[in-house]
Copies of this chain bind each other. A is one copy, B any other.
Amino acid sequence: MWITSSEYSMKILLLPGDGIGPEVLAEVRRVIDALNAHHGLGLSVENGDIGGASLDRHGTPLAPHVLEMAKASDAVLMGAVGGPKWQSVSYELRPEQGLLNLRKGLGLYANLRPALCFPALADASTLKRDVIDGLDILFVRELIGGVYFGEPRGIETLPDGTKRGFNTQSYTTPEIERVARMAFDLARQREGRVCSVEKANVMESGLLWRETVTALHKREFSDVALSHMYADNCAMQLVRDPRQFDVILTDNLFGDILSDAAAMLTGSLGMLPSAALGEPGMPGLYEPIHGSAPDIAGKCIANPCAAILSLAMALRHQLGRPDLADLTEKAVSHVLDSGYRTGDLLGGEDTRLVGTEGMGRAIAERLSA
């Protein structure tokens, strides 16, 4: 059931970026083709520049016309940005700035970070298999507020000649409500449990966070199970028994640290996707959590799974095809179970080392069966 162009009902913008970005997005493209051809997805593809690639071509890490293309799309999927080639450019031209500008331009305030452990890869974790096998946490991290963005901030010289560095942690009720609402909504599609994490015991911003989440829960989401946890205890619980969690809702700073710890629990960073979402109707930005990996760029050995799973997140959260999201995730899982491994993944008996294209083809073939 090959579809004609008139049957493309949705549009995704691919931003390959730098390093291994283009290689892994080529395999995403292959998976989209398979889903269009065999499952009636109807997703058209555009391409744009971002990061160092954009700097080289357009003199800026995010050109205005690319931001416009992003806004006109249903979803945006990025590869990766950055690399040694652009290390010495000025701060506002840095490749990473392209990503920040894109997030800002699309108003993406919620970062979705799954921590997933695939059974075939559970032994790659530093944690024991029985602690980690089947792990499936979804972090919902506030992305554009908190202490990384709060004002006032700076370094000042004090009267006695010493210096003082300061930042402001700040959250308003609406900032907390919109990201909490997203966490509750997502929990309804999962196990229906949200754990909200802050330091309400020692921080007023955390106290307002807890009060606001509690009130919203009571008002609109009493069907979801809500618990609260201090951030330091959450760090402990992620090590002690990470499978106790379903959705973890937290702020920008705590989310930064805790979601990275949780990702490392899985032992396979090359497998993990992410999403940044904003208001309903705005396209989300989907991307693997791995970087541009300049050391292996161009060698065709990068793992495309995280990028393909990022597409699955777009299918679930934005393109209205949770069925195809499931199908894609199952295809990845099946290919791993069949022994396919890129070089970053733990090999072993009955596994077969493949390159970027080998992995992408295996997943696309599974989706064409």
Residues of A within 8 A of B (CB): 126-128, 131, 147-148, 150, 153-155, 158, 162-174, 199, 202-209, 212, 231-233, 235-236, 238-241, 253-254, 256-258, 260-261, 263-265
Q: Which residue of chain B has the shortest Cβ distance to A260 in the bound complex?
A: B232
How long is the Cα–Cα vector from A83 to B253 in the complex, in angstroms?
Answer: 31
Q: Is the CB of B162 within 8 A of A174?
A: yes
User: In the complex, how many angstroms separate the beta carbon of A268 from the nearest chain B beta carbon?
Assistant: 12
Contacts of A199 in B (CB 8 A): 148, 253, 256
Considering the chains assembled together, what is the distance between the CA atoms of A203 and B256 in angstroms?
Answer: 13
A-B contact pairs, 6 of them (CB 8 A): A164-B208, A166-B170, A167-B168, A167-B170, A199-B256, A232-B257
Residues of B within 8 Å of A238, CB to CB, are 261
Other-chain residue from B147, B163, B256 in contact with A147 (beta carbon distance below 8 A): B147
Docked pose: A307 CA to B186 CA in angstroms? 44
Q: How far is the CB of A348 from chain B (nearest CB, A)?
A: 15
Main SS class of interface, A: helix
The answer for the CA separation of A202 and B145 in the assembled complex, in Å, is 12
Alpha-carbon distance A202/B255, docked complex (angstroms): 14
Q: How far is the CA of A240 from the CA of B208 in the complex (A)?
A: 34
Chain B, residue nearest A176 (CB): B165
List residues of chain B with CB within 8 A of the CB of A212.
Answer: 163
List of B residues within 8 angstroms of A263 by Cβ: 236
* Contact in complex: B260, A204 (CB < 8 Å): no
Q: State A300–B162 Cα separation when bound (angstroms).
A: 52
- Smallest CB–CB gap between A239 and chain B, Å? 4
Say whether B207 contacts A165, CB under 8 Å: yes
Choice from B166, B208, B239 contacting A204 with Cβ under 8 Å:
B166
Report B-chain residues with C-beta under 8 Å of the C-beta of A166: 150, 168-171, 204-205
Partner of A170, one of B150, B164, B256: B164
Extra A-B contacts (8), CB below 8 Å, given A126-B239, A148-B203: A126-B127, A147-B203, A164-B208, A167-B169, A238-B261, A239-B239, A239-B261, A261-B261
Determine whether the beta carbon of B170 is less than 8 Å from that of A162: no
Q: Which of A127, A164, A165, A254 has the most chain B CB atoms inside 10 A of its CB?
A: A165
Question: Are B171 and A165 closer than 8 Å at their CB atoms?
Answer: yes
A330 to B: closest C-beta gap in Å = 27
Tell me whether A154 and B260 are in contact (CB under 8 A): no
Chain B residues contacting A256 (CB-CB under 8 Å) are 199, 231-232
Partner of A203, one of B167, B170, B171, B261: B167
Q: Which of the residues B169, B236, B241 comes within 8 Å of A169, measured between beta carbons?
A: B169
User: Which are the 5 A-B pairs with shortest beta-carbon distances?
Assistant: A165-B208, A165-B205, A235-B261, A162-B173, A236-B264
A155 near B204: Cβ-Cβ < 8 Å: yes
Q: Is the CB of B153 within 8 A of A164?
A: no
Which chain B residues lie closer than 8 Å to A162 at the CB level?
Answer: 172-174
Q: Which of B150, B204, B241 contacts A153 (CB 8 A)?
A: B204
Residue numbers in B under 8 Å from A253 (CB-CB): 199, 253
Contact of A260 among B167, B168, B233, B260 (CB under 8 A): B233
Picked from B147, B202, B207, the residue with its CB within 8 Å of the CB of A155 is: B207
Cβ contacts under 8 Å, A204 to chain B:
153-155, 165-167
In whole angstroms, how far apart are the Cα atoms of A166 and B260 in the complex?
25
A128 neighbours in B (Cβ, 8 Å): 126-128
User: Are A239 and B257 closer than 8 Å at their CB atoms?
Assistant: no
Knowing A128-B126, A128-B128, the reply to whether A165 touches B264 (Cβ < 8 A) is: no
